[in-house]
A = this chain, B = another copy of it.
Amino acid sequence: MDNWAERVRQGDVLAISRALSAIENRSSDADAMLQALFPHTGRAFCIGVTGAPGTGKSTLVDRLAAHYRGQRKTVGIIAVDPSSPFSGGAILGDRVRMQGHASDAGIFIRSMATRGYLGGLAQGTADAVLVLDAAGKEIIFIETVGVGQAEVEIAKIANCTLVVLMPGMGDDIQNLKAGLMEISDIFVLNKVDREDAPRFEQQLKSILQLVPERDGWRPPVALTVATENKGISELAQDIAAFREHIERAPDRPARQLAYWKGWMLRLLQTRLTERVIGSSRGAGGSLSAAEFDRLAEKVAARKLDPFAAVDQILAAAGLDAQEQPH
């Protein structure tokens, strides 16, 4: 284990890949490995990139990665697929485009799917970021698709979140969901060489004027044509400005404490709940997810009350509701 962690720290590609697979499969090795890596983390800057399919997100990440590589910064990219129970699919296909980096040891690219019952997506992503951080990657991209609760959770992991849009998305910008406004630190309007771009840009900016400033920051709109490498260094400047903004923020220690409190509470709840309901992590709990569902169906039909249901779950785990464990 120590040897494995040491190899990850040295940036060994096979060791990093194995570490991310262990996280993805929620293998029992993963926690020990993360634990060994943890003291060597805390230096990376993590950029979340989200947007609808077709907005050119992957190409944009590719070009930004090349930009940072040009500054001799090491880069890690994690493409998260929240919908698929299997890794790969469309995102893995996109990655084929990035094979241009294959011979560059300073960049690590990986698609990941995080399975599991208990909202493991955000935690799995946070774990993967720890690995790449320990491996010395200075800039880490997390690429996600669309927006939903999962993306909001992932945005909390990233230090800076880019929301990628393109002209002609659906009917005007109806697809610009309210949730995107909450999470975006920078908007990227990609494919601005399209003829409907100016109208879209104007609409976007007039909507953004209605959104209040957040902690002294108003999300700028960066204009790019990622396929032609246009606007990339300007976008990198926006990212640098945001990084400076948050590093100056007086509430930074309080935010970091809150981040780790959330992390620990999530880990604690996962540990406790897995012990009871079971998980894909092997050892499993005393009750299967299917049994949990059956209890919930009875509750929804008012044939069982939720307190009795939870008491049954705790009793099955040998954790009686009444007594404290010694």
Contact = CB atoms under 8 A, between A and B. Distances in A.
Interface of A: 31-32, 34-35, 38-39, 41-42, 172-182, 207, 210-212, 253, 256-257, 259-261, 263-265, 267-269, 271-273, 275-277, 283, 286, 292-293, 295-297, 299-300, 302, 305-310, 313-314, 317-319, 321, 324-326
30 contacts: A34-B307, A38-B306, A39-B302, A39-B305, A173-B210, A178-B178, A178-B179, A178-B180, A178-B181, A207-B210, A256-B300, A257-B297, A257-B300, A260-B299, A260-B306, A261-B296, A263-B306, A264-B295, A264-B306, A264-B309, A264-B310, A264-B313, A268-B314, A271-B321, A272-B273, A272-B276, A275-B325, A283-B324, A318-B325, A318-B326
A286 B324 CA distance: 9
A268 B276 contact: yes
Contact of A306 (B210, B267, B296): B267
A261 B292 contact: yes
A35 B210 contact: no
B174 A178 contact: no
Contacts of A178: 178-182, 211
A197 to B, nearest CB: 18
A193 B172 CA distance: 33
Contacts of A319: 272, 275, 325
Contacts of A271: 310, 314, 321
A21 B211 CA distance: 39
Nearest to A37: B305
Contacts of A182: 178-179
A299 B292 CA distance: 34
Nearest to A179: B182
A42 B302 contact: yes
A208 to B, nearest CB: 11
Contacts of A272: 269, 272-273, 276, 314, 319
The A contact surface, by secondary structure, is helix
A310 B212 contact: no
A18 to B, nearest CB: 19
A35 B307 contact: yes
A42 to B, nearest CB: 6
Contacts of A275: 319, 324-325
Contacts of A307: 31-32, 34-35, 38, 267
Contacts of A265: 273
Nearest to A298: B260
Given A261-B292, A302-B41, A268 B176 contact: no
Nearest to A177: B212
Given A257-B296, A318-B326, 15 more contacts: A34-B305, A34-B307, A38-B305, A39-B302, A173-B210, A174-B211, A178-B181, A178-B211, A257-B300, A265-B273, A268-B277, A268-B310, A271-B310, A272-B276, A283-B324
